[in-house]
Structure 1
Amino acid sequence: MRLTVGSDSSTVHRITGFSNWLLDIGEGDPIGSLINFVYPSILQNFNIAGYFQERAILAPKNEVVQEINDQLLKLIPGEQKEYLSSDSLCQSEFVNDQFDSNLYPPNVLNGLKISGMPNHNLILKVGVPVMLLRNIDQKNGLCNGTRLQVISLGKQVIEAVIISGSNIGNRTFIPRMSLTPTENKIPFKFQRRQFPLAVCFAMTINKSQGRKVMILATYLYAYDIFFHGCYDEMNTSVLTG
């Protein structure tokens, strides 16, 4: 408004156009736009080798990553399989007489969503990209952060093919594991027995560091997340929303 005072009509027109452009930023369906940009024709291509290997959507927070992954999971055809974890308090908690285990029944533990841990309710489909959340066999490329694509869904193991790192193309079997959170935000220790996997159409920016991705989109919303080293080793095309 200050810039328009005393300006000629052509300048006012340019300023008004720029103001309207600023107001339009963020309108519409940014997540849908990112999905179409990074995963075009996903229904025709998701079974093609290398399709997920060179694509990723990044977001600052796990909540947004979960939302994007849920949307894309629904797009993949085929029957989904649900895996539920078995959660229990660690025995060390019962040594403390002041600890009341009744405050943390299984349904409370099931509802905990912790960074670096698989969710209690893990829903997968054949063909979906996933990320490994624990080191299993570093020599063969099964490290925390390795991306894989699901081949088959069994009751005791999940078969997948590695799509990142130095062992791309190798097939492997992922078993259930007993996992304990490493962060100290929870005032007690518990154990979750679950497949150490998370759906990985999208990932957090922290998880993306050091990865080589050809097509990349970043979902930003009032966060200054471009810190030093975030996009090292990446050849990227970036669409922000």
Structure 2
Amino acid sequence: GLAPYALRIKVGGVYRLMHNLSIDKGLVKNTRCLITSIGVRLICIPLLKQAIDSQQYEEEEDILIPRITFMAVLPSSHYTLVRKQFPLAPAYATTFNSCQGLTLDKVVINLTCPVFSHGQLYTALSRVRHRDHAVLQLNPGDTEITNVTFHKLLI
């Protein structure tokens, strides 16, 4: 996809990569990153490595992210839109599946639309360190949520 037209970035912001930059270093599409400094043509992010037998991450080295060229062919046209921009998009919110494997300090889970797949509710609720730090957003008047399970999968 094409990067957002106006990208507002700030130091300390959480963003996701929109392009594979280095598969060897784990800088692949949808990887979350934290910006530590911003230059005119480069953004600095720490490359994080996981501590052994732990969910803690340690800073390994700083990675410089350059602006890259995004191209999109306009529908029903012979024109191609070309834009040079940082390959980042805001990542303060994520999907159930994208948060799998993360451990979060606080979460707000939007359940105004029903959970539709096996294990999604469990995945979302089990990401937070302490249950007091999970907030569920429900439709007005709702007091229950349905945990979708496919019993054939639970062998």
What is the TM-score with the length of structure 2 in the denominator? 0.62
Return structure 1 stretches of 4+ with deviation > 6 angstroms: 164-167
CA RMSD of superposed structures (Å) = 3.2
Q: Does the CA-based 8 Å contact 1:178-1:194 persist in structure 2?
A: yes
Give the structure with the higher percent strand: 2
Give the structure with the higher percent helix: 1
2:24 aligned partner: 139
**Secondary structure at the counterpart of residue 24 of structure 2:** helix
Q: Give the Cα–Cα distance (whole angstroms) in 1 for the partners of residues 49 and 119 of structure 2.
A: 20
> Identity over aligned residues, as a percent?
26
Q: Find 1:196's aligned residue among 83, 87, 96.
A: 87
**Deviations 1:111-153, CA, capped at 9 Å, x for gaps:** xxxxx43211111111111111110001011111111111111
Give unmatched runs, 5+ long, in structure 2.
52-56, 129-133, 138-155
User: Radius of gyration: which is bigger?
Assistant: 1
Q: Does the CA-based 8 Å contact 1:126-1:151 persist in structure 2?
A: yes
Q: Find 1:219's aligned residue among 99, 103, 110.
A: 110
Give the C-alpha shift of residue 217 in structure 1: 2.1
Give unmatched runs, 5+ long, in structure 1.
1-115
What is the TM-score with the length of structure 1 in the denominator? 0.42
Give the C-alpha shift of residue 179 in structure 1: 1.9
Q: Give the Cα–Cα distance (whole angstroms) in 1 for the partners of residues 29 and 11 of structure 2.
A: 21
Q: Give the Cα–Cα distance (whole angstroms) in 2 for the partners of residues 205 and 191 of structure 1.
A: 33
Give the C-alpha shift of residue 228 in structure 1: 2.7
> Relative to 1, partners in 2 of residues 1:193 and 1:168: Cα closer, same or farther, differing over 3 Å?
farther
Q: Give the Cα–Cα distance (whole angstroms) in 2 for the partners of residues 226 and 165 of structure 1.
A: 32
Q: Quick one: higher RCO (CA 8 Å, sep 6+), 1 or 2?
A: 1
